[in-house]
Amino acid sequence: MYSLYNTLLLLASLGALPYFAIKSLHTTKYRAGLRQRFGHVSPEIALALRGVRPLWLHAVSVGEVIAAVPLVSALRQRFPHLLILISTVTETGQATAREKMAGAACLYFPLDYPWVVHQVICRLQPRLFLMVETEIWPNFLRELTRQAIPAILVNGRISPRSFRGYRRLRPFMCRVLPAITSFSMQTKLDAERIIAIGADPSRVHITGNIKYDLAFEPLTSPDERTFRADLGIGEAPVFMAGSTHRGEEDIVIAAYLRARLQVPALRLLLAPRHLDRLDEIEALLRKHQLLVHRRSHGRLSSQSGAAPVLLLDTIGELAKLYAVGTVIFVGGSLVPVGGHNVLEPAAHRKAILFGPHMHNFHQIATALLEADGAVQVHNPEALGEHVSMLLLQPERRQVLGEAAYQVLRANQGAITRTVELIAQVLSQQT
């Protein structure tokens, strides 16, 4: 089965090679960390690991990196002697890891070719490998087993779509999953799904979702006023759309224009998920005759004809910026992406809106809706209706925001349970 997997992997790589070669000529996104992806360990990392076996944590992109920040902090407290190595797949994930996890060695995750993963694991020799959510690479896990290195699936989640795919591959997954020492799953349903595709039930634990254990500091009122002044929005109400995807910006703009008819001072803070789309989004905003200011271009005076739309083009600020929003829409949910982290605005007691496509955050979205801590909009027109309504109803905003915050607080503790599980595995090593 591994021979078949590697044959298919090689054929897929050869087929995609022309596409990536062309893309690499035009954008750094496809060139970033290329040598590391093929097994090169930089001199900086080699120097940092001199005679040290690190704890290796893998987080695919920005969302997983941010979720892992409090886990890394807890691990550093519990195991101060261990060096932590962070790997990501995306360029933005790498930048976020370097910013949020100062002191950790960072690298790009290797491609899952047998000769590549063998070389990397031999060079790095981690004491333990942690993978955030469900990032299962067969050859990598097989090589860990060969070198007697334990692996833990942290904050494990199996989406309905992933579950259907894994079920079809169950005979192969039954060979791959034994390489994972322990499964730390978010919910009972996630635990049942990982067992159904081949995990040993005795290795599966329900520890909760570490995303509830957000590392954040709520802004005080004076701090928020200072932050608003720095953003150039003054005291104006703000409709904020975070982590939007293609197809959602049009809907957000329509909702903003509709709401502005009732609240003329309203500002729009738009934070696209992928920064390589900034030019496209700015052109769309200008098509609607909206003045735009990019966050990276510096402070814009709120007293001098400030642009009504602030376009967030920086990395790692979104969770903090939610503090200035009056009404928050979290993207990836009006298009079939699966949603993004709605707990970040909940931490600031904000009124939250999201669309029907929340399968990547199903448990969190359900908990918020059941507690009256968020509003789910089921079509584009409904977004404008709810934004307008909430802007005119401060009491309703307060009820939603407080309920969302209480859901966040009630479900914390996953970090502690996860660290205990990691400690058990580490204690079994000689």
**pLDDT at residue 17 above 80?**
no
Kindly tell me if the per-residue pLDDT of 59 is higher than 50: yes
Q: Residue 340 above 60 pLDDT?
A: yes
Q: Is 301 exposed, middle or buried (0-12, 13-18, 19+ CB in 10 A)?
A: exposed
Local confidence band at 32 (pLDDT 50, 70, 90 cut-offs): low
Mean pLDDT check: name the lowest of 7-11, 168-172, 408-412.
Answer: 7-11
Mean per-residue pLDDT, 160-176: 93
pLDDT (tens digit per residue) in 370-402: 999 999 999 999 999 999 999 999 999 999 999
For residues 136 and 239, the model is more confident at 239
- Point out the least confidently predicted range of 45-49, 168-172, 398-402: 45-49
Spatial contact of 121 and 144, defined as CB atoms under 8 Å apart: yes
Strand partners, 351: 327
Strands (E) in 105-150, as ranges, are 105-108, 128-132
Q: What is the pLDDT of residue 14?
A: 76
Q: What's the rounded mean pLDDT across residues 139-144?
A: 97
- Determine the pLDDT at residue 269: 97
Helical packing angle, 394-410 and 380-391, nearest 10°: 110
In eight-state DSSP terms, residue 198 is: T
The distance from CA 268 to its chain's CA centroid, rounded to whole angstroms, is 23
- Residue 21 in this model has a pLDDT that exceeds 60: no
The mean pLDDT value for 125-135 works out to 93
Supply the Cα-derived Rg of the chain in whole angstroms.
Answer: 23
Per the prediction, the chain carries an average pLDDT of 91
Q: Which of 44, 64, 133, 192 is catalytic?
A: 64
Nearest of 181, 169, 164, 174 to residue 195 by alpha carbon: 174
Residue 64 annotated among the catalytic residues of the structure: yes
Q: Map out the domains of the chain with their CATH numbers.
A: 32-213+413-427 (3.40.50.11720), 221-410 (3.40.50.2000)
**223: pLDDT strictly greater than 50:** yes
C-alpha to C-alpha distance for 190 and 163, rounded to whole angstroms: 9
pLDDT level of residue 232 (50, 70, 90 thresholds): confident
Contact yes or no for 250/277 (Cβ under 8 A): no
Report d(CA 194, CA 79) in Å as an integer: 29
Name all contacts of 178-181 with Cβ < 8 Å and 24+ positions apart: 178/145, 179/141, 179/142, 179/144, 179/145, 179/151, 180/141, 180/151, 180/152, 180/153, 181/150, 181/151, 181/152, 181/425
User: What are the pLDDT digits (tens) for 240-285?
Assistant: 999 999 999 999 999 999 999 999 999 999 999 999 899 999 999 9
Residue 424 confidence class, pLDDT cut points 50, 70, 90: very high
Which three-class secondary structure state does DSSP give residue 60? coil
Dihedral Cα 109, 184, 98, 113, nearest 10 deg = 0
CB 155 within 8 A of CB 414: yes
Residue 300 has pLDDT above 80, yes or no: no
Beta bridge partners of 85: 56, 105
| CB contact at 8 A, 88 and 109 | yes
Q: DSSP assignment of 153-176, as one string?
A: EEEE---HHHHHHHHHTHHHHHHH
Q: How confident is the model at residue 304 (pLDDT cuts 50, 70, 90)?
A: very low
Q: In this predicted structure, what is the pLDDT of residue 305?
A: 53
CA dist., res. 349 & res. 14, Å (int): 49
Least confident of 61-70, 78-87, 116-125, 139-148: 61-70
Is the C-alpha dihedral spanning 30, 104, 430, 152 positive or negative?
negative
The SS3 of residue 350 is coil
Write the secondary structure of 182-195 as one string of H (helix), E (strand) and C (coil).
EEEECCHHHHHHHH
Report which residue type is found at 213: D
Gap between the Cα atoms of 295 and 305, Å rounded: 16
Q: Are 240 and 325 in contact (CB under 8 A)?
A: yes
* Residue 78: per-residue pLDDT: 95
Tell me the average pLDDT across 196-206: 97
Predicted confidence (pLDDT) at residue 26 exceeds the cutoff of 90: no
Residues counted in the chain: 430
Residue 362 φ then ψ, to 5°? -60, -50
pTM of the predicted structure, to 2 decimals: 0.84
Band of pLDDT at residue 6, cut at 50, 70 and 90: confident
